[in-house]
Chains A and B, each alone.
Chain A
Amino acid sequence: MKKILNWIMIFAGVFAAQAVSAQVRPPLSIDVNYSVASPLGSLKDYSGKTSFRGWTAGLQYMLNDQLSVGLRTGFQDFNEKLPRAVYPDKLGDVSAVQTRTLQVIPIQATAGWAFTKPDKPVIPYAAVGVGVANMDYKKYWGQFVESDNSWQFMVSPEVGVNIPFGQASPVLFNANVRYNYSPYKMGDITNFNSVQYSVGFKFHLN
């Protein structure tokens, strides 16, 4: 009798766990975030100002409670206007107000790992995005522009948290920090490095 009772308890427990896991939220989600990015290294020398013009958007599919894969894109605009200065050039000295811009549009495949089960109130995670980025470089010398547009490899590791609005809510608040690296070389830029801070929402879709 006791043995049977034990079995019932075990089964009940397993079923309960499965029920929670299966019903917390549907596997497919989309996310949109607002982004602020700080340039690092040679990118900072080129255009040193923190960029407040950025966003990211993505699509994710939960393979199980913790592992997800997805696709994402976004936009970040680095822009700095420097006071008039004289720049020595191989053909002369050029006095100019330089406006140095770089617009980045990544397209990346992502893989993410949640450190907790999806029924927790706070779900920390780590992810990595690997793909390409469109680099739109424009260095204005006064009204004259030196420009270059190219696609580059880009890798972006990320850590963040998802905070559901209630235990089984399909809507989650997201905050993350991402490091972006691209072996992009143009003018003064020897590599593209930035730290990107994002906040936004994640919506699970049926």
Chain B
Amino acid sequence: MKRTIYLLSSIAALAALISFSGCGKDPLKDMTAEESRIYITNHDSQANFKSYATFSIVDSVAVLSNRADTAKKALTDYDKQLISSVSAAMQSRGYTLVDKAAKPDLAVALTRIDNSFTNVAWNPGWWGGAWGPGYWGYPGGGWYWPSYYVVYQVNEKQTAIDVFDLKNPTADNKYVSVWNALWRGSGVWNTDNVASMVQASFDQSTYLTNK
């Protein structure tokens, strides 16, 4: 009888332990949208950011989906906020905003990416020149994450800012990207988050200045 009680109590204790801490905490459960986001910036280490004086920015945002064959242009409230925040940030770094016709040194392209998987072919082609491919990982080349990374969300929305050098086209007349920012995670298409995401992207890119 005693033995049975011991046996039962030990099994109960083991079961309690396992249910108490049998599996680890799921970090995704207590993560805010802000915490879920990552901001990736990259730049051309050969670029001399002090050599550029002027920039122009797109008048609408490219919307890209790997479910559609072509990119669309859009100008939602989000897109307006994005254009104005990025323009302000560029100006705060000493670059002068000019019209596209005024031969700017830098071109700023804005893209919203709606991925249903983790890869997307990208060729907006409406700036008036072909972008230098491959540098960022898209279009064409491999995606940012190594293959052992797992993206939990099947549908992922992203936003990208690309700054191209219009002063120094390549031999075959392509423009090279000198700076990129890519936002991933929850809420990157939320208008209220635009200002802080632009801020974070520029804050981590102190070299992006002509001062």
Q: Which residues of A contact B (CB under 8 A)?
A: 30, 32, 34, 53-55, 57, 75, 77, 79, 81, 84, 86, 91-97, 99, 101, 103, 136, 138, 140-148, 170-171, 200-201, 203, 205-206
Contacts and interface: CB of A to CB of B under 8 A. Distances in A.
A86 B204 contact: yes
B17 A55 contact: yes
Interface stretch (B35-43, B75-83, B89-97): B35-43
B13 interface: yes
Interface in B174-193: 180, 184-186
Interface of B: 3, 6-7, 9-10, 13-14, 17-18, 20-25, 27-28, 31, 34-42, 137, 144-145, 148-153, 180, 184-186, 200-201, 204-205
A53 B150 contact: no
B7 A203 contact: yes
Contacts of A200: 13
Given A143-B152, A203-B6, A205-B3, A95 B27 contact: no
Given A95-B204, A143-B31, A146-B149, 11 more contacts: A32-B13, A53-B24, A55-B17, A55-B20, A94-B39, A95-B201, A142-B36, A143-B185, A144-B150, A144-B151, A201-B13
A2 B206 CA distance: 100
Contacts of B31: 97, 99, 142-143
19 contacts: A30-B10, A53-B21, A55-B21, A79-B25, A91-B42, A91-B144, A92-B42, A93-B40, A94-B38, A94-B40, A95-B40, A95-B204, A96-B38, A101-B25, A141-B38, A144-B38, A144-B149, A170-B3, A205-B7
A75 B148 contact: no
Given A99-B27, A140-B27, A144-B149, A93 B42 contact: yes
Contacts of B204: 86, 93, 95
Contacts of A146: 145, 148-150
Contacts of A145: 149-150, 152
Nearest to A29: B10
A95 B38 contact: yes
Contacts of A101: 24-25, 27
B198 to A, nearest CB: 12
B200 A95 contact: yes
A77 B153 CA distance: 24
Contacts of B14: 32, 57
B25 A77 contact: yes
A81 B151 CA distance: 19
A142 B24 CA distance: 18
A185 to B, nearest CB: 15
Contacts of B151: 144
B178 to A, nearest CB: 13
Nearest to B186: A143
List the 8 shortest-distance A-B pairs measured between CB atoms, nearest first.
A92-B42, A143-B36, A99-B27, A77-B24, A55-B17, A95-B39, A97-B35, A142-B38
Contacts of B6: 170-171, 203, 205
A32 to B, nearest CB: 5
A143 B186 CA distance: 8
Contacts of B25: 53, 77, 79, 101
